[in-house]
Amino acid sequence: MRLFLGGGVAASTGLAGTRARGERAPDASDAPMQPMPGFVVQSGYGGDADPPDRLGANALDPLLIPPPAEPPEPGRVREVSIWVNERPIEVAGGRQFAAWTYNDTVPGPLIRATEGDELAIHFQNRGMHPHNVHFHGRHAVSQDGWQPIPSGESETYRFRAGPAGFHPYHCHALPVSQHIAKGLYGALIVDPPALRPAAHEFSLVLCGFDLDGDGKNELYAWNGIAGFFARFPIKVPVGELVRLYLLNMVSGDPVASFHLHAETFDVYRTGTRLEPDEHTDVVSLAQAERVIIEFRLPERGRYMFHPHQVHMAERGAMGWFSAI
């Protein structure tokens, strides 16, 4: 039986070894961005959506860079530990969010499996409220995860990973609206048995943070830290295939989107089919909707990305790809 804890653990390379985890060595494009003509602050947008200064360029790699894809292996069991803590997190410099977390981060750990693997999800509720973990995708109804697990108790959910695609998981304890808005969600990549072509792969989960409890989000963030990818562009080689796993888990806004500047991309909705559904430069996602997108950046330079609900971009969800 192998131990598999999802992103942030043993993974050392991107898919098929095309991109080493440590490859993103600091260089000029990792330095905080300097003001440019027409730009007021380093993010180019809002004034309070910069990441905490203590975070370096690789701080979000466990949530950004998926563990390596692995070919199918009969009988493989992936053991995943997921616990809930109720703890504040710093989602922007000096901005605390009274979060409920899976494995101490929002979003929770990035998990990867190959279609047909058995997933054994060992859940522990270390919080004060009832919680649980419910996966999207296919599984027996007995493993659906909606039943509340009381404070201090544990449960193991078992199911075969599938279908191939990109699937959210989230707490389903009542009121679900609160449990998701507090940060209890994450993502599961399920690879098709033949795996996808080698690419530089990244996972981006869009989060919204209602800091003051007024029912409206004050900050937005890809992978939990506002302004992170504005300060630290995601570096990709010119001309090589890039694959993004995109998930919207924002509460309180009816829809979000992902828009890439200066290039277009293939969209695989939910990632469940191997042929693209469309080719565009903006894709809209209601809560829990997700896509896999693929593109190549043709020349050196910075390519902006953000939700086209631009208030989200202005409050922390703007970022850059740096093609080098």
**Interacting stretch for Cu ion, rule CB under 5 A, among 140-148, 184-192, 248-256, 260-268?**
184-192
CB of 127 to Cu ion, least distance (A): 7
Q: Does residue 24 bind Cu ion (CB under 5 A)?
A: no
User: Which residue has tokens 């070894």?
Assistant: 17
**Interacting stretch for Cu ion, rule CB under 5 A, among 44-52, 55-63, 165-173, 198-206?**
165-173
Nearer to Cu ion by Cβ, of 224 and 271: the residue is 224
CB of 84 to Cu ion, least distance (A): 6
CB of 296 to Cu ion, least distance (A): 40
CB of 133 to Cu ion, least distance (A): 9
Nearer to Cu ion by Cβ, of 83 and 320: the residue is 83
CB of 116 to Cu ion, least distance (A): 29
Burial category of 286 from C-beta neighbours within 10 Å (exposed 0-12, middle 13-18, buried 19 and up): exposed
The contacts of residue 255 (CB under 8 Å, 6+ apart) are: 248, 284, 285, 286, 309
Nearer to Cu ion by Cβ, of 108 and 227: the residue is 108
Q: Does residue 179 bind Cu ion (CB under 5 A)?
A: yes
Candidates 5, 149, 173, 236; binder of Cu ion (CB under 5 A) is 173
Nearer to Cu ion by Cβ, of 86 and 294: the residue is 86
**Site pattern 67..106 for Cu ion (x: CB under 5 A):** ----------------------------------------
Q: What is the 3-state secondary structure (H, E, C) of the chain?
A: CEECCCCCCCCCECHHHCCEHHHCCCCHHHCCCCCCCCCCCCCCCCCCCCCCCCCCCCCCHHHHCCCCCCCCCCCCEEEEEEEEEEEEEEEECCEEEEEEEECCECCCCEEEEECCCEEEEEEEECCCCCECCEECCCCCHHHCCCCCECCCCEEEEEEECCCCEEEEEECCCCCHHHHHHCCCEEEEEEECCCCCCCCEEEEEEEEEECCCCCCCCCEEEECCCCCHHHHCCEEECCCCCEEEEEEECCCCCCCEEEEECCCCEEEEECCCCCCCCEEECEEEECCCCEEEEEECCCCCEEEEEECCCHHHHHHHHCEEEEEC
Candidates 91, 133, 171, 313; binder of Cu ion (CB under 5 A) is 171
Q: Does residue 131 bind Cu ion (CB under 5 A)?
A: yes
Q: Does residue 172 bind Cu ion (CB under 5 A)?
A: no
Nearer to Cu ion by Cβ, of 186 and 233: the residue is 186
Q: Which of 167, 171, 199 is nearest to 266 (CA)?
A: 199
CB of 64 to Cu ion, least distance (A): 25
Nearer to Cu ion by Cβ, of 144 and 263: the residue is 144
**Interacting stretch for Cu ion, rule CB under 5 A, among 91-99, 102-110, 160-168, 181-189?**
181-189
**Interacting stretch for Cu ion, rule CB under 5 A, among 127-135, 187-195, 236-244, 316-324?**
127-135
Is-contact 212 218, C-beta < 8 A? yes
Nearer to Cu ion by Cβ, of 288 and 304: the residue is 288
Nearer to Cu ion by Cβ, of 171 and 283: the residue is 171
Per CB under 5 A, residues contacting Cu ion are: 131, 171, 173, 179, 184
